[in-house]
Structure 1
């Protein structure tokens, strides 16, 4: 993926956390949040000239790619942008363990 932006549901005070990461030529995974979180949407986009895959894990730490169970896996064609809000519905999804 060329990059991803994830945002959680607004808190009672109206604020929300936004996470952005632009990928490089690596396959390193990251942990976005090490405790339960609700994801309201996001926009994974593939700036590459070949297909890439966006994966989301319900984990407290960075996932071990190829070992840990994938919560959501989305292929992304070259130049494609996805809207996770359309997939997660207006209420979002809750990851009880964490977001990796």
Structure 2
């Protein structure tokens, strides 16, 4: 399993709109992609315009090829892109260890 971590900065004062849009975008577009396992969205405490979108994919290629190179990616960006203050930083991670309490 691969974790996609997207560090997103949005335009000031648009938090409520963005939060509704990102949940709608994941639930209606990304969640239907091959290899999608689940997601989590976190918002910054110290930085009100910063969000972390964490998506679990079965494989790296499910995200980088299957989703990113599909029409669904354009649909996703149409929903959330208008809120971005800058392009999100996206990286992928493999699990090394996990707490039993996590």
Q: Tell me the TM-score normalized by structure 2.
A: 0.26
Query: With CA pairs under 8 Å and 6+ residues apart, which has the higher RCO, 1 or 2?
Result: 2
Q: Tell me the TM-score normalized by structure 1.
A: 0.26
Instruction: Kindly indicate which of the two structures has a greater share of residues assigned to helix.
Output: 2
